[in-house]
Amino acid sequence: MPSPVLYSIKEARKRLGGIAQDTIYRLLRSGKLASTVIGRRRYISDVALGEYVVANTTTTVVPASPTSSHARTSRPTGSP
């Protein structure tokens, strides 16, 4: 079954690691987390959750260099 495109506030809180209700409403009020209102209910899209996580990620993954120090095959010039 594909994952839903829109999540209720309760579902979005779970997807963000079980954050507090006050925290998610603070994020919504501040504009840090986008939402959509349909009728009288507010939903948060999967894309909005992903963008929030990316924007607030504090570490980055550095891709491995194609030539690491272990993979060098050429010798320095002037050596026997």
User: Is 79 a residue whose pLDDT tops 90?
Assistant: no
Note the pLDDT tens digit of each residue in 50-67.
999 999 999 877 777 776
Tell me the helices (H) and strands (E) count for the chain, helix number first: 3, 3
Question: Which pLDDT does position 75 carry in this prediction?
Answer: 56
Separation CA 45–CA 8 (nearest Å) = 9
Task: State pTM to two decimals.
Answer: 0.68
Least confident of 16-25, 46-55, 68-77: 68-77
Strand pairing report for 36-38 and 41-45: antiparallel
State the Rg of the chain over Cα.
22
Note the pLDDT tens digit of each residue in 28-37.
999 999 999 9
Q: Which helix (H) or strand (E) holds 11?
A: helix 9-15
At residue 26 the predicted structure's pLDDT band, cuts being 50, 70 and 90, is: very high
